[in-house]
Structure 1
């Protein structure tokens, strides 16, 4: 134990006072960074021409039709078959299905965003600040896409109250009991929403990975069917909603010229350069 640690141990009041001082400095820095970022966004908003519109509504309508078709055609047969999946497939499904939990995505991205608001940016060179801003912005995009879509679905599934496959024998595939317990929270799938949002974000950042990202999102969602937690329509709805929300969030960022711009076809695409440096230099 060094001299300072010993002094702090022997003087709890002094240690508490030091911690309060550190807390005040971090709080002041957080507020200062929030104000600076708000000013940055206002300048970006005036700099970027917001001449685009959301074009995902047609896709959303088509998704609803697909979900209804899948529910009518597949949900009952899959519900009846749920105890008969091959053991090897089930083993892999149980190993992979929890990748759809959002914690492993939200915790690191949330920490990066929080760190971005707590550090003193003035001590870094302009180029370093630019790189840091890109990382914080990318983390914020993924955090918002996964986090908010997951929160919306968590509320929706309790409001809808669809019985999970565990109740199939007694209640069937289309029994609803809103505002009940977790076994009546099947539609849509939260794990699938996380997979859809995350892999859609990957596909927007890296267009060449669109097909493998789609395959991974659907496969991870389908593991929820294999383990008996959801019906196929729950998974399709979750993946589609998560992907749609990631698209919508990318358009929001594109409106400020951060991370993305809007292509002629209405899709958000990654900006080759974020053009943030001259704004950061003013900070």
Structure 2
């Protein structure tokens, strides 16, 4: 037994509620982080990008982003410049549904509450059911937080001027760490919206027909409101989808929330949530 394991098990002989909670936490901790699926199985669920692989896909993305900078950013900026100010405000208000604050507060709070509840639940089946729900909400939280946090850092480091600055700066003005006005690339709201859509789509495939149009509305609203260029929302959307999928793969390797079946991610644990005796 390693030193870390010894430290965690130091309270295993405690009696009463505190001891039971500690023992349950130790079991949960090691089950949560332990790898249970071989890397080669996980690899089957990694997108192949038409045989290009991750490296080839990255090169294609860089080239496509450069072309988008040159041709699509001026095109879409010109299209949205013709919208009247009142319509811009309304579209921007619609885009506020892409803010990550509320989804993160809800999923994080519910996941934490369910996890703590499962630690003190005595009935085994009920404890497993609550833990499954906690894992699901935890997945939703990290599927948004991981790519969203990366987008928030990248946009400050890159420092691209927002469209409402373009009359003074143009499309190619960059000031790293320049604050809100220079935090256009990538779009954080588009990243959050597409991450949430991807996460829900993986858990509940039928919701894709609702969630991805919602994410597209967020992206359009951010462009119409002169907050982002086309390239910004495009890269934000890609980052959000890739980040949420990576979190799902991380969970699948530990057999949390997802299984890998025939090279595809499949939600797991639904049978646990059913009542005994139901089909």
TM-score bracket for this pair, using the shorter chain length: 0.7 to 0.9
What is the CA–CA distance in structure 1 between the aligned matches of 2:271 and 2:248, rounded to whole Å?
A: 14
Rg (Cα) greater in structure: 1
Number of the residue aligned with 1:104: 102
Correspondence 1:55 to 2:53? no
Specify every segment of 5 or more residues in structure 2 that has no aligned partner in the other structure, as ranges: 1-15, 49-53, 274-279
Say if 2:258 and 2:265, in contact at 8 Å, map to a contact too: yes
**Helix, strand or coil at the partner of 1:198:** helix
**Cα shift readout 1:144-196 (whole Å, capped 9, x = no counterpart):** 11112111111111110000011111111111111211100100000011001
Number of the residue aligned with 2:265: 268
Say if 1:197 and 1:242, in contact at 8 Å, map to a contact too: yes
What is the CA–CA distance in structure 2 between the aligned matches of 1:175 and 1:26, rounded to whole Å?
A: 60
Number of the residue aligned with 1:15: none
For the aligned residue pairs, the C-alpha RMSD in angstroms reads: 2.9
Number of the residue aligned with 2:217: 219
Task: Please show how residues 117-136 of structure 1 align to structure 2 within 5 Å.
Answer: 117-119=115-117, 121-136=119-134
* TM-score, structure 2 normalization: 0.78
Number of the residue aligned with 2:166: 168
Say if 2:115 and 2:131, in contact at 8 Å, map to a contact too: no
Number of the residue aligned with 1:184: 182
What is the CA–CA distance in structure 2 between the aligned matches of 1:88 and 1:181, rounded to whole Å?
A: 26
**Cα shift readout 1:217-247 (whole Å, capped 9, x = no counterpart):** 1221111001110001100110111001111
Number of the residue aligned with 2:11: none
* TM-score, structure 1 normalization: 0.77
Number of the residue aligned with 1:35: 26
**Cα shift readout 1:91-111 (whole Å, capped 9, x = no counterpart):** 531321111111111001111
What is the CA–CA distance in structure 2 between the aligned matches of 1:74 and 1:175, rounded to whole Å?
A: 16
1:254 to partner: Cα distance = 0.5
Per mean C-alpha deviation after superposition, the further-off stretch among 205-214 and 169-178 is: 205-214
Specify every segment of 5 or more residues in structure 1 that has no aligned partner in the other structure, as ranges: 1-24, 277-283
